[in-house]
């Protein structure tokens, strides 16, 4: 059974790739940044990539699609910023809710930074859930660490899943992987050794933890680096110089702490090596740093697809018309409770 989706704020395609792996076919991906649009087209020429502002995008022709997904901008809720929330002009949750009303998808999946789960945004989260409820959806916020899905960095993300009520009984959040993710050294050793670096074994032994959370950087500042002072210290503890990015792997006789390349950062983020990134180094890194790790999107997307599939198959077996709503309802999910 084919399940269709559209995505807003698609970025470099981390969420889109994970959802594709989970079994969704993308009808449309909306993205504002030209370089990110080129990345999407470069990797999936068949995808319908729409370059433009989501505020000007109408979802009416996608009415009834299975999934509306998106990673709306993080700065309004990020602790690295001023956390202006709904007063920040970059807040696109209202646009996502507008598209829910226009499209009436079976399921909704939106992700953002952990800061959105702070108490200061409690009323805002409830407003979003109440708005969804008015249109027949039951939603819940969940904190998911990317490391629980096999990604080699902690990267906590606030994820909202909302479903039309009849699909609710079949949904469960993904369980954390039983096996911990690989360390930075294990993940990057071959890339660090690409130019024959003699010190790679010693470096790998030191880089024996998962990575700090990658950040995308701001257009208001200079070139890319690996985050604020605390993040740079964490990277230094792993033997990585976080003050910038390298153009290539260390040379044979390199001495000191190496820097990551864009490809290394992409692998830490969970992108496959064949995923190409468009644009110069700074632009490419910002796409990687702002991305939703594909393995996390895969884990959540697989659970959403299972809920839709189980309900559709059950309806077919029992002769239930799609307009009917099962009487059973998941109490753990019905109140939109925040689980951390």
Dist. CA 69–CA 253, nearest whole Å:
47
- Whether the pLDDT of residue 333 is over 70: the answer is no
Decide if 221 contacts 194 (C-beta within 8 A): no
Catalytic annotation present for 74? yes
The pair of structure tokens assigned to 169 is 């009984």
pLDDT one-digit tens code per residue, 132-150: 999 999 999 999 999 999 9
Non-local CB neighbours of 203 within 8 Å, separated by 6+ positions: 185, 192, 197, 239, 258
- Give the phi and the psi of residue 322 in degrees, each rounded to 5: -65, -20
Catalytic residue among 9, 28, 37, 74: 74
DSSP E strand stretches across the chain:
3-8, 24-31, 49-51, 67-70, 107-113, 137-145, 156-164
pTM of structure:
0.88
Rounded mean pLDDT, 100-109: 97
Q: At what angle do helices 14-22 and 294-318 cross, to 10 degrees?
A: 40
Give the β-pairing of 67-70 and 107-113: parallel
Q: What share of the chain is helix, strand, coil (3-state, %, to 5)?
A: 40, 15, 45
Question: In the prediction, which pLDDT does 113 show?
Answer: 86
Dist. CA 296–CA 170, nearest whole Å:
19
Cα angle at 300 between 172 and 53, to 5 degrees? 130
SS3 state at 145:
strand
Residue ranges, CATH 3.40.50.150, the chain? 3-176+292-334
pLDDT one-digit tens code per residue, 238-276: 999 999 999 999 999 999 999 999 999 999 999 999 999
Looking at 2.40.50.220, 3.40.50.620, 3.40.50.150, 3.30.300.30, the CATH number of the domain 3-176+292-334 comes to 3.40.50.150
Distances (CA, A) of 211 to 64, 145, 290, 296: 40, 12, 15, 16
């Amino acid at each position: 059974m084919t399940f269709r989706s559209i995505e807003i704020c698609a970025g470099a395609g981390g969420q889109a790739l994970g959802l594709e792996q989970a079994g969704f076919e993308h009808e449309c991906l909306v993205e504002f940044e030209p370089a990110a649009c080129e990345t999407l087209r470069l990797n999936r020429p068949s995808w319908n990539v729409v370059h433009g502002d989501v505020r000007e995008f109408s979802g009416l022709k996608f009415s009834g699609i299975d999934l509306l997904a998106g990673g709306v901008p993080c700065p309004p809720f990020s602790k690295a910023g001023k956390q202006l929330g709904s007063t920040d002009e970059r807040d696109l949750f209202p646009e996502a809710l507008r598209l829910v009303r226009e499209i009436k998808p079976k399921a909704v999946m939106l992700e953002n930074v952990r800061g959105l789960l702070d108490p200061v945004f409690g009323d805002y989260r409830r407003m979003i859930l109440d708005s969804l409820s008015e249109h027949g959806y039951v939603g819940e916020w969940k904190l998911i660490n990317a490391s629980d899905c096999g990604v080699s960095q902690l990267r906590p993300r606030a994820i909202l899943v909302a479903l039309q009520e009849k699909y609710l009984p079949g949904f469960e959040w993904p369980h954390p992987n039983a096996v911990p993710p690989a360390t930075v050294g294990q993940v990057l050793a071959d890339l660090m050794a690409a130019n024959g670096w003699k010190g790679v074994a010693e470096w790998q032994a030191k880089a024996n933890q998962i990575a700090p959370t990658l950040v995308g950087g701001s257009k208001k500042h200079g070139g890319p680096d690996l985050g604020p002072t605390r993040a740079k210290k964490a990277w230094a503890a792993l033997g990585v110089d976080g003050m910038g990015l390298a153009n290539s792997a260390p040379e044979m006789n390199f001495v000191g702490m190496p820097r990551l390349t864009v490809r290394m950062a992409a692998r830490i983020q969970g992108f496959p090596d064949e995923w190409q990134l468009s644009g110069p180094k700074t632009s490419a890194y910002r796409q990687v740093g702002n991305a939703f790790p594909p393995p996390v999107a895969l884990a959540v997307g697989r659970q959403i697809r299972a809920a839709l599939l189980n309900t559709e198959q059950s309806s077919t077996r029992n002769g239930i018309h799609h307009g009917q709503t099962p009487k059973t309802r998941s109490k753990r999910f019905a109140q939109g409770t925040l689980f951390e």
